A and B are shown apart, each in its own frame.
Chain A
Amino acid sequence: EPEVTQTPSHQVTQMGQEVILRCVPISNHLYFYWYRQILGQKVEFLVSFYNNEISEKSEIFDDRFSVERPDGSNFTLKIRSTKLEDSAMYFCASSGVSGNTIYFGEGSWLTVV
C-alpha cells in the first residue's frame, strides 16, 4: 500500500540552527501538508501546499518556516532560527483529488536543545 515517508525519524538541533525535514508524499497525490504534535498535545495544522504554492497556513507557521517541493517527489519543511518550543513531532501528509482522505507519514521527531 502506498505510504508517505519522512526523514529523518529523529533530529536533535541546537537552538538557532536551521533544520530541514523531508517527505515523500504518495506518488499520485496533489495536496501536501505539514502538521505537528507537541508532546501530550493534539495534532495541529501548519501548512497546506497545492499547485506549487501555499494554499493555507496557521499562526504557528511564522516567517521562520518555509516549504518547498524541489522536484516531483519531495516535499520539505525548513525551520530557520529554531526555538526550544519548536520541539515536536512533525507529520507530513498528502491527499489526492477532492474527496480523498489525508494520509500521514510516520513523523519526524525534532528536539531543539
Chain B
Amino acid sequence: DQQVKQNSPSLSVQEGRISILNCDYTNSMFDYFLWYKKYPAEGPTFLISISSIKDKNEDGRFTVFLNKSAKHLSLHIVPSQPGDSAVYFCAASGHFGNEKLTFGTGTRLTIIP
C-alpha cells in the first residue's frame, strides 16, 4: 500500500540548473509534508516542510509546492549544486510533525558538474 509515491527513482541535472523532484500521495488525511535528504549510511536530514494550509514554502534554494487537489507536491532546488547529490525522500503525516511519517521510495538526484 504505497500511500506516498515518488515515481522517478533517479534524476540527473546539470550544476546551476533547476532540480525538480516530484511526489504523489493517495491518503487525503495527510496534512503535513516534508522533504528529507539522505546520504548512504546516514540518517535522513530534514530540508523543508509544508502544511496543507499553504501551497508554497520557500527556504533559500529550496521551494516546496503543494497541490492538494492533485495530491501532488514537488521540491525545487535552484541553483543545483554538486553537494545536492543525494537521495531525496518525500514524507507525509496526518498532522503537524509528531505523528508518524509515511515515506516515499526516494529519488536519487545526481548533479553533474
> Which chain A residues have a beta carbon within 8 Å of chain B's beta carbons?
4, 6, 30-31, 33, 35, 41-45, 48, 50, 56, 58, 89, 91, 93, 95-107, 109
Query: Which single member of B41, B98, B99, B100 contacts A107 (CB below 8 Å)?
Result: B41
Closest chain-B Cβ to A104's Cβ sits at a distance in Å of 4
> Which chain B residues have a beta carbon within 8 Å of chain A's beta carbons?
34, 36, 41-46, 49, 89, 91, 95-106
CB-CB nearest 6 A-B residue pairs: A104-B43, A99-B96, A43-B103, A31-B98, A45-B100, A100-B97
Kindly report which residue of chain A lies nearest to residue B44, judged by CB atoms.
A104
Closest chain-B Cβ to A45's Cβ sits at a distance in Å of 4
- Whether B101 and A45, one on each chain, are in contact in the complex, defined by CB atoms closer than 8 angstroms, is yes
Kindly report which residue of chain B lies nearest to residue A30, judged by CB atoms.
B98
The B contact surface, by secondary structure, is loop
Cα A50 to Cα B97 in complex, Å, equals: 13
- Whether B98 and A98, one on each chain, are in contact in the complex, defined by CB atoms closer than 8 angstroms, is yes
Closest chain-B Cβ to A113's Cβ sits at a distance in Å of 19
- Whether B97 and A95, one on each chain, are in contact in the complex, defined by CB atoms closer than 8 angstroms, is yes
Q: Which of chain A's residues have a CB closer than 8 A to the CB of B104?
A: 42
- Whether A43 and B100, one on each chain, are in contact in the complex, defined by CB atoms closer than 8 angstroms, is no
Cα A97 to Cα B49 in complex, Å, equals: 16
- Whether B43 and A4, one on each chain, are in contact in the complex, defined by CB atoms closer than 8 angstroms, is yes
Closest chain-B Cβ to A6's Cβ sits at a distance in Å of 8
- Whether B95 and A98, one on each chain, are in contact in the complex, defined by CB atoms closer than 8 angstroms, is yes
Closest chain-A Cβ to B80's Cβ sits at a distance in Å of 23
Q: Which of chain A's residues have a CB closer than 8 A to the CB of B43?
A: 4, 6, 91, 93, 104-107
Cα A99 to Cα B49 in complex, Å, equals: 11
Q: Which of chain A's residues have a CB closer than 8 A to the CB of B106?
A: 42
- Whether A42 and B105, one on each chain, are in contact in the complex, defined by CB atoms closer than 8 angstroms, is yes
Q: Which of chain A's residues have a CB closer than 8 A to the CB of B46?
A: 101-104
User: Given A4-B43, A107-B42, A42–B97 Cβ distance below 8 Å?
Assistant: no
